[in-house]
Structure 1
Amino acid sequence: MILDTLKYPIGLADIPENLTQKNLKDWIAILEEFPQKLEFLVHELSENQLDTPYREFGWTVRQVVHHCYDSHQNSYIRFKWALTEDTPIIKAYDEKLWANLHDSKTAPIFLSIDGLKSLHAKWVYFLKGLSMEDLEESFIHPSGNSVVNLKENIGIYAWHCNHHYAHIENLMIRKGWK
């Protein structure tokens, strides 16, 4: 039970079946605010703290920050594919392997923080310009061949922001760093 709480500190993503304009507005606001919130959360952490796993056998804070950039960059591209191709099968990536590459394990976090600021600014601008019809477009995720529409994907990534923010924040609270 404790491992589940550490692994999923805000629970699993819960996307309502009937999405409202308010859901979308709230989720886009989370995407818009995330890079600055994350930067404020981690900006005073030492190198040793950045290299601390948020749970046993989990990623370090540094890896989580770099993972957010990698994941969100992939998601942004998926939106573009869904809007320019007919229900494309997207390219998946192995996030665990990516998180273990040398840049994810050693690079300064400001590289991904700055990347997230730019990416999210462009992503949010893009999302705010989409119609409800656009948001019905979908892509197929090859893992289980699940069809994901863009409205749902906004919710998934709002959850993803809060999920990883909670990993880091909860670690900082447990360690007395906050």
Structure 2
Amino acid sequence: MTNERYPIGQYESPEIITQEIRDNWIQDISTFPARLKEVVESITEEEQQLTYREGAWSIRRLVHHIADAQLNVYIRIKLALTEEKPTIKPFEENGWIALADSNIKFASSLSIIEGLHTRLSYLLKNLNEEQLQKTFIHPDTGIQTVEKTIGFCVWHVNHHLAHIKNALAKRNS
């Protein structure tokens, strides 16, 4: 049986991050919007309310959360690249998802994700080794590198894509 909460497992950063791993991560970031759209573009309003487990966010809220989280990732990376070890502000995801804009149709968040991933993948393809090792300070998890943030970013979007697929699979069971 798969773990409903962590259907692709919990995030584990590779000890050594090679160019091949980074290239795969960046490719994953660039293709994510199309992969997400393929899964959600034809679902009904009613299906947008499905959840992958009791008490979990709906598909609609998951899509909005992905947009919120990716905006934060993008800002964290840009801050790390332009400032000396900035301390970032974490966002309270449960608070953000409780705001009114999480109730609208998710088309706007799909647009955010598409545009943001286009910019993010282009930026990441053009970073040098020194830039990949730039850091920011996360108050909860400590010092994070740009490089490791890329890996977490990829895990996070794929983690929630699996949640969405699992919720849709439940409609047929």
Relative to the length of structure 2, the TM-score reads: 0.96
- 5+ residue gaps, structure 2, are none
Query: Are 2:46 and 1:45 aligned?
Result: no
* Counterpart Cα distance in 2 of 1:28 and 1:176: 33
CA offset at residue 54 of structure 1? 2.0
Q: Work out which of the residue numbers 125, 131, 142 in structure 2 matches 1:134.
A: 131
CA offset at residue 172 of structure 1? 1.3
Q: Work out which of the residue numbers 51, 56, 59 in structure 2 matches 1:58.
A: 56
Contact 1:32 1:120 in 2 (8 A): yes
* Counterpart Cα distance in 2 of 1:22 and 1:55: 35
- SS of residue in 1 equivalent to 2:136: strand
Aligned residues: CA RMSD: 1.3
Contact 2:137 2:143 in 1 (8 A): yes
CA offset at residue 52 of structure 1? 1.8
Corresponding residue pairs, total: 173
The corresponding residue for 1:123 is: 120
* Counterpart Cα distance in 2 of 1:174 and 1:132: 44
Contact 1:30 1:161 in 2 (8 A): no
Structure 1 letter corresponding to 2:78: K
- Aligned 1:1-178 pairs, distance under 5 A: 5-104=3-102, 106-144=103-141, 146-176=142-172
- 5+ residue gaps, structure 1, are none
CA offset at residue 73 of structure 1? 0.6
% identical equivalent positions: 38
- SS of residue in 2 equivalent to 1:140: strand
Deviations 1:59-79 (A, max 9, x none): 000000000000001100101
